[in-house]
Amino acid sequence: MMEAVLERQHAKSHVSEPRIDARERVMGLAKYTADWHVKDMLYARIFTSTVPHGIVKNIDSSEAAKTPGFVDMVSCLEDSTLWEAGEREHVRRVFADHVRFVGDCIGAVTATTRIAAKKAASLVSVQYEELPASFNIDSTLGNSNLKIWDNGNTIGPLKFEYGDAEEEFRNSQVVMERHYSTSRLHNVPLEPAISLAWWDGDNLTVVAATQSVHGCRNGIAKDLGLLPEKVRVIGYYKGGGFGNKINSMNYDLIAAICSRRTGKPVMVEYSREDEFINVHGRWSTDQDLRIAADRDGRINAVEVKANCDIGAYTRHMKRGHFIEGPEHYYSTEAWNAEIYGVYTNTPATGHMRAPPGPQSAFSVESLVDEMAYELGMDPVEMRFKNYIRHPNSGKFTSNGFEECITRGAEEFGWKQRWKRPEKQNTRRGLVTGVGVAIGSWHSGLGHGEAIVSIDSTGVLEVNTGVVDIGTGAKTTMALIASGEAGIPFSDTRVIWGDTETSPFSVGESGSRTTGFTGTAVREAARQIRSDLLSIGEKVHGISSSKLEIKEGNLIHSGNGNVISSVRELMHASGNGRITKSVTTEPALKEGEERFVFAAHFAEVAVDLETGEVKLTDYLAYHDSGEIVNRLTAESQVQGGIVMGIGMALTEKLLISKTDGSIENPSLLLYRIPNMAQIPKIKVFFTDTIDPYGPKSLGEIPIIPVTAAIGNAIFNATGVRLRNLPFSREELLRELKGKK
């Protein structure tokens, strides 16, 4: 099977198709979880801890029960269901009896209306035995009485090293040492957390806002002690997730628990505030970096020591990998990283678009930039000199990094636009500057399943377990099948998002859909084409080696003549539907590494009087291998950049110094970018062909953004900002200090 994948034609794709479900989405017809309304549905609302750390001693629901419409209350006192996916290192319960942050979920109230549910939940009174608590890294590390978790309050160190870093630092001509920090962030999918569940005997159905219906099903089944086949998860339309709707969520379990108790379908809806507090966001980092280089610009070694505030629970599934990525940006003699995750009594953290990616890129790509200026080098030249050609051992399956850097610089006009920072003589008005940053990210391969069929009318049907949270996965799967089978996209249909009807998919996380599920789709579609060619041989007496299927027609490859349409061919053959159910397990060969690469270029304008930064131009050049659909791929890149712009300029969860609660759980106070703040973002892709097919795309676009912007601010003003988000106040203070 692998041969089949490897030998396929690698013609550069210029496909650019609107989403297969665009019509439903623009007409308000796409049914998201909140749009479901089932008979006799009840509403559940969570109630949560008001103390940062403690043991729940008593819960009084007598007032809540008097609320008209009250149906049921469930809490940690009677339900000890575990939420396994809720914490990487320890045991976490759906309803916490040991609460670890202000907002930790203790129980839920079910009522006939959402107003009644909210009212009743607000009337539940909880008594606690309070415990010592910590709200930041320093206080966790410095408090021996603190027991957020019994077996220690930190994870780590995670060490990653190669070469002899100390030797390189001793022998290199220039060494720099800097501190960087990044803030706690939130994914802010526009659709807040929601789940709807009902039981039919022992069978559970959940309409989930998940990024993976199968992952969600498996998690729910495990936590509720059910066989997976007893759980059906439906998820047709999702309002984004960016990592915080991964697998089974506690609100899915809460819906199922409340429904089982009341015997009615139950919808759990989170308010925007609940979403900010009860669904994880990105961890913050405190990073100390050292870099060693020679005067000619060669980077010899990088050292990263970091503590990361991971909140009370970490949902990050890769143990300890809280800083990761830049070791694959450059070829250096040595790399030395030592990373700790530090628990605090603050809300949970976990996956958010390229979980450790942008935090790690920010520090390293800022520091490399600092070194370039220190050495008097053009920052693009510095990257060009050092970018990774080959991994430490083995080889990349493909590497378009050079094209990203050089062609990106050309398209941006870097040579004409980059100037060495000059001393600012003016105190007012706008100054502009440009910055560059690069990045890479893994591009995995793995288990994929697909069912592709063609019916007697020539319609191609692609059935996969994708959910399409906005990535365009449905469209991508359909395009892969259509291209491989030779059937027009307009005659291609998709089935998706339901564990009862669709085969397993990893879902949309880790930039995996195209590489994992897409590989199975391609193989199934190839088998369909091969069957059609055999039928052609049988029906028309022409050797199948002389036949092709193109645009829904059987074609004589010798003279290019259309022999018949696929529909006629299917009719003539007397066959009904042909179905191919395929499982693929592509794997890299020994020593192979598969990565995607990018170079980003930003221009900013800084108001010297206020310190305000406005992004005025942006360009991204990406190697993600063959691009299946240029239109939606460009959208994903722009989207990641927009999120990166928020991280650079406006986004920050404010954590209370007195109780660790989130002080800005509102879209009025947690500022995601709006249209007025976003410049034109130009997107280019390299022509790189990877032998294993299209590479990953969804996560890498956010990775270089903050450093590209910070580097541009430095270029404009001579001020280096090392804390995210960039503060106009800090910038102004530094500007004044320079005079």
Partner 1 sequence: MIIEPFQYFSPQSLDEAFEILSEHHGEAKIIAGGQSLIPLMKMGVEVPCIVDIKKIPGLKAIELSKDGLGNVSSIKVGALVTYNDIEGSNPVKKNLPLLAKTASGIGHPLIRNRGTIGGSLSHCDPAADLCATALALNARICITGPGLKTRSISADEFFKGPLETDLQDDEILTAVEFPVSAMKMGYDVQKLTLGHGDFPVFIVSVSLHNDGKKFTDIAIALGGVGETAVRAGECESLLNGRESITDEDILEVSKMITEKYDPPSSAELSHDYTLDMLAVYTRKALINAVQMVTG
Partner 2 sequence: MKMEAQTFDLKFKLNGKEVNVLVDTRETLLDVIRDSFGLTGAKKGCDEAACGACSVLFNGHAVCSCTMLAAEAHGGSIVTVEGLSSNGKPSFLQKTFMENDALQCGFCTSGQIIAAAFLLDNAEGELDDHEIREGLSGNVCRCGAYNKILHAVSEASRNRAVK
Which of residues 149, 169, 242, 601 is near partner 2 by CB under 8 A?
Answer: 242
- CA–CA separation, 91 and 14 (whole Å): 49
Nearer to partner 2, 237 or 441 (CB): 237
Alpha carbon separation from 412 to 388, 420, 436, 649 (Å, rounded): 22, 17, 10, 22
**Rule CB under 8 A: is residue 634 a binding residue for partner 2?**
yes
Closest to partner 2 by CB, 548 or 603: 603
Residue-level length of the chain: 739
In the complex with partner 2, the residue whose CB is nearer, 29 or 562, is 29
Closest distance to partner 1 from the beta carbon of 733 (Å): 8
**CB 310, CB 316: distance < 8 Å:** yes
For residue 170, count other CB atoms closer than 10 A to its CB.
Answer: 11
Among residues 392, 610, 687, 738, the one that binds partner 1 under rule CB under 8 A? 610
Burial 628-654, CB ≥16 within 10 A → b, else e: bbeebbbbbbbbbbbbbbbbbbebbbe
Looking only at residues 461 through 480 of this chain, which bind partner 2 when binding is defined by CB under 8 A? 469-472
Q: Is 65 in the site for partner 1 (CB under 8 A)?
A: no
Amino acid at residue number 519:
T
Whose structure tokens read 């979920």? 105
Asked if 632 interacts with partner 2 (CB under 8 A), we say yes
Smallest distance, partner 1 to C-beta of residue 561, A = 58
The secondary structure of 488-510 as a DSSP string is -GGGEEEE-SBTTTS-----SST
Ranges within 246-285 binding partner 2 (CB under 8 A): 271-272
Region from 23-31, 373-381, 557-565, 674-682 binding partner 1, contact rule CB under 8 A: 674-682
d(CA 41, CA 194): 14
Q: Pick the closer one to partner 2 by CB: 25 or 319.
A: 25
Q: What is the DSSP letter of 651?
A: -
Is position 370 an interface residue for partner 2 (rule: CB under 8 A)? no
Q: φ and ψ at 58, to 5 degrees?
A: -155, 145
Binding residue (CB under 8 A) for partner 2 from 2, 32, 260, 546: 32
Residue choice 1, 2, 22, 689 for contact with partner 2 (CB under 8 A): 22
Is residue 681 involved in binding partner 2 (CB under 8 A)?
Answer: yes
Confirm or reject binding of residue 635 to partner 1 (CB under 8 A): no
Which does residue 678 touch among partner 2, partner 1, none (CB within 5 to 8 A, set by kind)?
A: partner 2
> Looking at beta carbons only, is 301 or 653 nearer to partner 2?
653
Residue 600 interacting with partner 1 (CB under 8 A): no
- 561 touching partner 1, by CB under 8 A: no
Choose among 412, 375, 410: nearest CA to 176.
375
Radius of gyration of the chain (CA): 27
**Is there binding between residue 534 and partner 1 (CB under 8 A)?**
no
**How near is the Cβ of 443 to partner 2 at its closest, in Å?**
21
How many chain residues touch partner 1 (CB under 8 A)? 22
Q: Which of 11, 27, 227, 668 binds partner 1 (CB under 8 A)?
A: 668
Stretch of 24-32, 223-231, 584-592, 686-694 lying at the interface with partner 2 (CB under 8 A): 24-32
Q: Report the C-alpha gap between 214 and 509 in whole angstroms.
A: 12
Q: Distance of alpha carbon 718 from its chain centroid, rounded?
A: 33
Strand 448-454, strand 460-463: pairing: antiparallel
CB of 251 to partner 2, least distance (A): 16
Q: Is residue 162 within the footprint of partner 2 (CB under 8 A)?
A: no
> Which residues, in sequence order, are bridge partners of residue 581?
451
Q: DSSP per residue over 168-199, as a string?
A: HHHH-SEEEEEEEEE--B----SS--EEEEEE
Q: Which is nearer to partner 2, 32 or 162 (CB)?
A: 32
DSSP 544: G
- Among 728, 673, 729, 727, which Cα is nearest to 702's? 673
- Interface contacts to partner 2, rule CB under 8 A: 18-19, 21-32, 34-35, 37, 66, 68, 115, 188-192, 237-240, 242, 271-272, 469-472, 631-632, 634-636, 638-643, 666-668, 672-676, 678, 680-681
- Interface contacts to partner 1, rule CB under 8 A: 114-115, 118-119, 122, 271, 609-610, 650, 652, 654, 663-664, 668, 671, 674, 676-677, 728-729, 732-733
